[in-house]
Amino acid sequence: MLRNYLKIAFRSLWKHKSSTLINVLGLAVAFCSSILLFLSAAFELSYDRFHADTDRLYRANLLVQDPKGEERSASMPYPLTPALRQQFPEIEGITRYEQGNGSVQYGNRQLEKEIDFIDPDALTMLSFPMRLGNPKTALNSLSSMVITENMAKDVFGTENPIGKTVQVNGQNGSKAYIITGILADFPDNSTLQFDAFVRVENSPDYERSKDQWDNTNHEVYVKLKPAVGQETMEKRLQSFTQINFQSVIRDQKALGAKPDERGELISLRLQPLLDVHFDTGAIQGAGTSRMYVYTLGLIGLFILIIAAINFVNLTLARSFTRAREVGVRKSLGAMRGQLFVQLWGETLLTCGLGLLLGLLLAVLLRPSFNAVFNANVSTNALQQPVTWLIVLLGFLLVTAVAGGYPAWVMTRFQTVLVLKGRVQMGKPGLLRNGLIVAQFAIACLLIISTFVVLRQIHFLRTKSLGFSKGQVISIPVGNEVTGTYALNQLRNRLAGNPNVVAITGTNINIGRGLDGSSTRSVVGFTHKGREVTSDWLRVDYEYLQTLGIDLLAGRDYSRQRPADSTTSVIVTSSFARQLGEKQPIGATFQTDSGGVYYQVIGLVPDFHLYALRSEVKPITMHLHQSSDISYILVRVTPQNMVATMDVLKREWQQIAPNSAFLGSFMSENTDRWYKREERLSQMYSLAAGIAIALSCMGLFAIALLSIQQRTKEIGVRKVLGASVASIVGLLSKEFLQLVLIAILIASPLAWYAMQQWLEDFAYKTSIEWWIFAVAGLLAVMIAFLTVSFQSIKAALMSPVRSLRSE
């Protein structure tokens, strides 16, 4: 019997080759897209789950209430961790974590590596397996270093690294470290990514800031004991913050800040480790939005739904052409169950072919998908039992929905009515129309979302940042030489180059350069009873000239004034407003009690150091030598820009021969701020394209079957004098009405979804009415072209052939 069912199924599929091809290709594209999107979303959701006891691992967050609202930061002061370790026995393990880098030298090898600063507890509380060494004692000494297997191969080759000494340059000088342990390479889904660990006491800022509670520059991770809950621990921390942050609390009270729901003006909160990867709100947060991850899965589901709708529609449309076959089988004694199994078996076969082709496409397109969406779908993920289980469940769900309902409808046909040719469309026709509306509504939703995202990206990239980013080249200094030395050398070497307009240095890059680094330094203090918060920016001479920033008042830095390199600052307008001085030029202020007095010598307009997701921040520029230069900025003439870049590369090889030249144009760096939004637009565009293609494939097949059923009607109308245009309009009208209904449903949904997405940006474009009009017009045109092809063909058919069709 099974063999007979298979034979009938293959014959039926072959007989209706066009609809079979549409179904198989549509399902293949849907399965391929959904598999890649679901795996990409699953990878993002798997971040940090490899750690043992993730339910007890947290990152500390500092919440400060001020008159402007709540500010949350994951940046902590150095003395916090020792105090927590000493006062709270509920803490099983705690570590500070500060990112760093350095140039590692061993023999004649010198490599740039990320060397992060931690406390010894990190090796036991976090699940980074140690291949060699003892995790409990590996960092007992300040001169100890633990490295990854990958770094061990790069630096030592086949040698055993344990006990070997390396020299690290760039961490505020040069220091020798002894290798005391080798860790397994961190997995791709780890928030903490590093090449080596050393003790936090080796941080360049540690000695200066180890007792300062108002200087925050690193993260803190905590592991609680099994019986201690998050809320319990946060309540225990209330008295701790009241004691250790008294000055902050006093200042906030003076400013009129209101306590939060727990009655706290400043509080320590614990953020689950599994949430850290998705944190985009903290000052140092650079995580992936959960919205982006959920959008991946949702689009995969949309595409799968559209393919299933196509299948249901085509099968229902064909059901009335196969009604006589079903009636004959029933009259010959076939049971409903047998007919259901046979008809559903055809669905199973079609979906199986689509799934196999989709899996093949997923494997072939995986590298391109990873490159476009910056995803991390690996072939290993495609081989996991869990992946196959999800694919199988999805396959069964699609076949059950897409094949089960049409098979159930066909087996309910009454034999007598079928054989007399009296089967009516009835509810299946309503269902068909509803499904067409649903799939075009999804397609329109994606089209509108694509337009909004592209418009927002264009707005962000073209909005003025308050400086001239064109023709400026940013060069990361690295660790081989100091920034001051590199800057002076480059100035001397390029002094006579006519293509170089100005050269300066800074400790913070604008945009995301080729080194991928992003830093921020924020200083807060009280001035005459007013709370002042500012980004603290180390600059060098000619910074304003290099970036094309004009002075509003005062003067620029001068080499003829020695005080400029110690106590003079240039501030932005928003900083001046915070000071509250009637005349900001000449005003003085202190950032800490007993510290030096800084004097304002220049005032400039506000400009953006960071992406436009947040509002422009007050900035204080200084020349203080305690903070070294990390980036060199070079303004060049518009002519011969590529040749000038080559000159910079040659000169850099002379200045730092062992460091890679990572110079890039600042305009490209600022564009990289919005890579996440660009990936989102590409994802929406691709998904909208696939959704439209699948919807049109289904619409094309439905229109073909509908026109075939109305062939005699078309012939009669032509005999009675109907024009080709009137027949095309008649045949297309029904489908275009369905598309218009889909547009009306999709537009408010898209407006709401995109309005929520735009809320994440301090600077955003508006959602104009014409976006919906253009998206709707595009959908209508595509649908009309799809339907009119068959409509025109049917309208041009000879009436004689039409009337003979039955």
**Amino acid at residue number 150:** N
Contact indicator for 469, 707 with CB cutoff of 8 Å: no
DSSP string, 626-694: TS---EEEEEE-STTHHHHHHHHHHHHHHH-TTS----EEHHHHHHGGGHHHHHHHHHHHHHHHHHHHH
Cβ atoms of 199 and 77 within 8 Å: the answer is no
pLDDT of residue 705: 65
Q: What is the spatial distance between Cα 507 and Cα 628, in angstroms, rounded to a whole number?
A: 7
**CA dihedral (469, 470, 476, 481) positive or negative:** negative
State how far the alpha carbon of 457 is from the alpha carbons of 422, 460, 746, 761, in Å.
57, 5, 22, 11
Residue 293, SS3? Answer: helix
526: Cα within 13 Å, side-chain hemisphere: 15
User: What b/e sequence results for 574-612 when a residue is b if at least 16 CB atoms lie within 10 Å of its CB, and e otherwise?
Assistant: ebbebbebeebbebebebeeeeeebebbbbbebbbbbbb
What is the SS3 string spanning 348-393?
A: HHHHHHHHHHHHHHHHHHHHHHHHHHCCCCCHHHHHCHHHHHHHHH
Residues 6+ apart with CB under 8 A from 512: 518, 669, 672, 673, 675
Query: Which residues in the chain land under pLDDT 70?
Result: 1-19, 68, 171-172, 254-255, 281-287, 315-345, 381-382, 401-429, 431, 593-594, 701, 704-712, 718-720, 724, 789-790, 793-806
Taking the C-alpha atoms of residue 316 and residue 312, their distance in angstroms, rounded to an integer, is 6
How many whole angstroms separate alpha carbon 690 and alpha carbon 293? 19
Query: In 3-state terms, what secondary structure has residue 718?
Result: helix
Calculate helix-pair angle for 230-244, 80-87, nearest 10 degrees.
120
Quote the pLDDT of residue 12: 61
Helix (H) or strand (E) holding 704: helix 675-709
List the one residue out of 794, 789, 788 whose CA is nearest residue 716: 794
Residues 6+ apart with CB under 8 A from 748: none
Q: Which two tokens stand for residue 166?
A: 């390396």
Nearest partner of 795 among 723, 739, 703, 689, judged by Cα? 723
CA proximity to 407, closest of 469, 349, 340: 340
Residues constituting the chain: 806
Q: How far apart are CA 394 and CA 385, in angstroms?
A: 14
> What letter would DSSP give residue 539?
B
Closest CA to 24 of 405, 434, 360, 397: 360
Q: Which of left, alpha, beta for 721 (phi over 0: left; psi -120 to 50: alpha)?
A: left
- Separation between Cα atoms, residue 164 and residue 146, nearest integer Å: 11
In the three-class reduction of DSSP (H, G, I as helix; E, B as strand; rest coil), residue 195 is classed as coil
**Alpha-carbon gap, residue 539 to 557, rounded angstroms:** 10
Q: How many CB atoms lie within 10 A of CB 613?
A: 16
What would the pLDDT profile of 214-225 be if each residue is shown by its tens digit? 777 889 999 999
**How many angstroms separate the first and last alpha carbons of the chain?**
34
The secondary structure element, H or E, covering residue 246 is: helix 246-254
In three-state form (DSSP H/G/I as H, E/B as E, the rest C), the secondary structure along 47-66 is CCCCCCCHHHEEEEEEEEEE
d(CA 23, CA 453): 31
The values of phi and psi at residue 221, to 5°, are -115, 140
Kindly report the CA angle at 436 between 432 and 441, in degrees rounded to 5?
Answer: 150
pTM: 0.76
**Residue-level pLDDT at 426:** 44
Q: Which of 308, 290, 288 is closest to 34 using CA atoms?
A: 308
CA pair distance 542, 621, nearest whole angstrom: 12
119 token code pair: 């406390």
